[in-house]
Amino acid sequence: MTDQAKCELLSEDERTKVWRWTFESGQATGMHIHEYDYIAIPISGGAFTATLESGEETEVKQIAGNPYQRSAGVHHNVRFVGQGMASFVEVEFLS
């Protein structure tokens, strides 16, 4: 198993990009900056830790089907700390 979560581009047009992230326990996105506002829609739910560029950590509890939004500029790494597998869909708003 790799430490890198799987990221798949599902759809793209001039207004949005839609990604599916899939994690096994311990896998992470890697440190990244969101260039666009986005919404995340948890498929499975689960426990995650978000680490900001500053090193500050935040526990994130995703609940299946309960979306949340973030603004462009978020700089973080997201690690799945639960057991089994977890996934969510992320929609970036390009305009």
Mean pLDDT by 10 residues, the chain (95 residues): 93 98 98 98 97 96 97 97 97 96
- The gap from C-alpha 45 to its chain's centroid, in whole angstroms, comes to 11
Does residue 90 contact residue 9 with C-beta atoms inside 8 Å?
no
Amino acid at 77: N
Superfamily the domain 6-93 falls into: Jelly Rolls (2.60.120.10)
H helix or E strand, kind and range, residue 85: strand 85-93
Instruction: Say what the pTM is.
Output: 0.93
Domain boundaries, the chain: 6-93
Q: What does the pLDDT look like over 29-46, one tens digit per residue? A: 999 999 999 999 999 999
* DSSP 8-state secondary structure symbol assigned to residue 36: S
CA dist., res. 56 & res. 37, Å (int): 21
